[in-house]
A and B are shown apart, each in its own frame.
Chain A
Amino acid sequence: MNAKELLNEYLHSGHGCCPGCGMPIVMRHAFQALGERTIAVITAGCFGTISGGFPSSPLKLATYNTPFASTGAAASGVRAALDIKGDTQTTVLAVAGDGGTFDIGIQALSAAAERNDDFIYLCYDNEAYMNTGIQRSSATPWGAWTTTTPPSNLKSQPKKDIVQIMVAHRVPYVATASIAYPEDLIRKIKKAKETRGFKFIYAFSPCPVGWRFSSELTIRIARLAVQTKIFPLYEVEEGERYILNEDPEGVPVDGYLKLQGRFGYLREGDMERIQENVNRQWKRLMGRVEGS
């Protein structure tokens, strides 16, 4: 991306994000990478709710709000209408949070991926229902506090592996992305734009309010997630070719976990358990990278 492109703002002030929210950083980069010939399909969740109130919008893009379960289907509809009118140049960008992707929206998402409809689905993952006030989703990590997983009953299931679910659809392009690695994020959005068929971009989006950390730590936490190997940066082409983008030395997970109040109820041995799980998952990923 050249400096001129960075001057093109599509997400302006006036949105209602909390201070330190990772999501508008994801969106700002994504919009800049895509440019003005973009139609955004958004849904309930933080982005849908904070993106302005009638009659003003902070978004300088054609944008369509659709109910929670339907992001994938609505984006397919926009694409079909553009195609039948002969407009194959406009990019359709579907945006949903982890709840709208992992949980209520997974059916429509899976169907759109299976049809290989030509649009980018961008999931910003803040690991719980943050917009409604921090309730667990299937993206909430093991051991995390939320208002529906109180200290006496912390989340006792691992996070759903949405990337593998999408890879299993053998779509042309799946990539993870982080706001701590903006050049990588922008490159992936651009690559998705140039790829025909279904694209899934999965962006890590720290939430100061829900994760209980101080708002100036957002980027640091996003970087730590990559450095601890909790959130690996990689791409998968055609469901087969794995490309690792960052190969960190591996900062111990406690450095990441201890910055966040939501992990403040972990018991003795839990940190080690999380570390072991991260190591195991990384090994599995390396096996896929090497095997492809």
Chain B
Amino acid sequence: MKKLMTGNTAVSYGVMLSRAEVISAYPITPQTTIVEELSEICADGRLKAKFIRVESEHSAMACVAAASATGARVFTATSSHGLAYMHEMLHWTAGTRLPVVMVNANRAIGSPWSIWCEQGDSLSQRDTGWLQLYCESSQEALDTVIQAYRIAEEVLLPVMVLVDGFFLSHTSEPVEIPDQKAVDRFLPPYRSRYKLDPDDPHTFNIMADPSIFISFKHDAQKAMDEAKKVVARVDREFKAHFGRGYGLLEKVRCADADVLFLTMGTAASTAREVIEEYRKRGKKVGLCRLRMFRPFPARELNKVLSEAKKVAVLDRDNSLGSGGIVAQEVKAALYGAARKPKVFEFIAGLGGKDITPETIGEVIEHTLNNVNPGGEPIWMGVQE
């Protein structure tokens, strides 16, 4: 069945179809409608779940983490300041190896106040041990939530699903809603391997002394390495079940491209159009949309990038004092590669500034017309 729905509604449907058992969340723009929708879905019995309306995001994550440790499939959603407020709990949840699934509607973090889209909120949480999957459409958001549970419950790491604030969270698109029975076949009920159980009492998160702490972290790293394969496999299986797949990254006209435009999230939709325009004019421009940021698919990305002469990375974020976070990772991935393109770096769309076809056109023009990158990222649309 196809329905017109926003990204946030699509997320709610994804959670409902995944049969989450404990949901805990705190409202924050632009995530709020997920919480509202799920409240209704739980209240009218479409989903048999406990919904705990907590007083903060820190508590939301603490609550779902503990529920997950007790063996329940759990969900929460947040945005921006809420994600930052969870920071401690993000580390803790990953450290406890809990298969928590969270959707974050990407929004800038103040000051100054902004409620609009930026990916710096989640990218700045890249070291917390969560997988990160960035979506481009409402359909992908719904599908990725379902996939996220399969992935998380297999590798025992939490998964963050990212939707661009407003551009995706509040934009309506036609979405194919999978059949519940088909989802049940793809995603069986959660059977935790380890849980809080009075019949088999164990202590979670006990003190690990210096001789053993590093081993816990190494185990988590191995799980993260494994996750790369699992994300790819789950996506393939999803495609076999539902006819839709997304990959770790998406390539559009990459095979013969001299210039590759690389970005994450909804800016890729705009870029698709622009790239077609360039192709019509005979310019060999392609698009690489990065879907998975953690674990970072360095090898898969290298394979795509090594064929190009130049890559233009558009970051909807900035690490003050260093530059775009995606560009940093791309450059690190390319280091040591036998063939590597020149990396042009662009910062755009911070705090909800539109990334228009013209913005992307400027980025591509600059990359086409310059032999070498200038060494510093180029900021798009700054008022002097």
Contact = CB atoms under 8 A, between A and B. Distances in A.
A57 B205 CA distance: 11
Interface stretch (A46-54, A139-147, A202-210, A276-284): A46-54
Contacts of A39: 70, 196, 198
Interface stretch (B33-41, B45-53, B352-360): B45-53
B191 to A, nearest CB: 12
Nearest to A59: B203
Contact of A84 (B60, B64, B72, B206): B72
B203 A77 contact: no
Interface in B69-89: 69-72, 74, 88-89
Interface stretch (A65-73, A162-170, A234-242, A261-269): A65-73
A77 B71 contact: no
B303 interface: no
B73 to A, nearest CB: 9
Given A41-B66, A52-B203, A64-B69, A80 B22 contact: yes
A80 B203 contact: no
A220 interface: no
Contact of A63 (B21, B62, B201): B201
A77 B54 CA distance: 10
B112 to A, nearest CB: 26
Interface string A152-167: 0000000000000000
Contacts of B208: 53-54
Contacts of B58: 69-70, 73, 108
A79 B48 CA distance: 16
Contacts of A72: 59
B283 interface: no
A107 interface: yes
Give the residue among B60, B70, B206 with the most A Cβ atoms within 10 A: B70
Contacts of A52: 203, 206-207
Contacts, number: 156
A218 interface: no
Interface in A88-140: 90, 107-108, 110-111, 114-115, 117
B21 A81 contact: yes
Contact of A54 (B62, B68, B71, B212): B212
B88 A67 contact: yes
A51 B205 CA distance: 11
B60 A73 contact: yes
Nearest to B21: A84
B92 A51 contact: no
A12 interface: no
Contacts of A69: 58, 62, 88
Contacts of A75: 66
B204 A64 contact: yes
A157 B68 CA distance: 41
Given A53-B206, A77-B65, A78-B67, A84 B198 contact: no
Contacts of B362: none
Given A74-B66, A77-B64, A84-B22, A63 B198 contact: no
A83 interface: yes
Contacts of B197: 62
Given A65-B204, A85-B71, 14 more contacts: A52-B203, A54-B206, A57-B206, A64-B66, A64-B204, A73-B66, A75-B66, A78-B66, A78-B69, A81-B70, A84-B72, A107-B59, A111-B54, A111-B55
Interface of A: 36-39, 41, 49, 51-54, 57, 59-67, 69-70, 72-78, 80-85, 90, 107-108, 110-111, 114-115, 117
Interface of B: 21-22, 24, 48-50, 52-56, 58-60, 62-72, 74, 88-89, 92, 196-198, 200-209, 212
11 contacts: A41-B66, A51-B206, A61-B198, A62-B200, A62-B201, A77-B64, A81-B71, A81-B72, A85-B70, A108-B55, A114-B55
A-B CB proximity, top 9 nearest: A70-B62, A77-B66, A73-B59, A81-B70, A111-B55, A65-B205, A77-B67, A81-B72, A74-B66
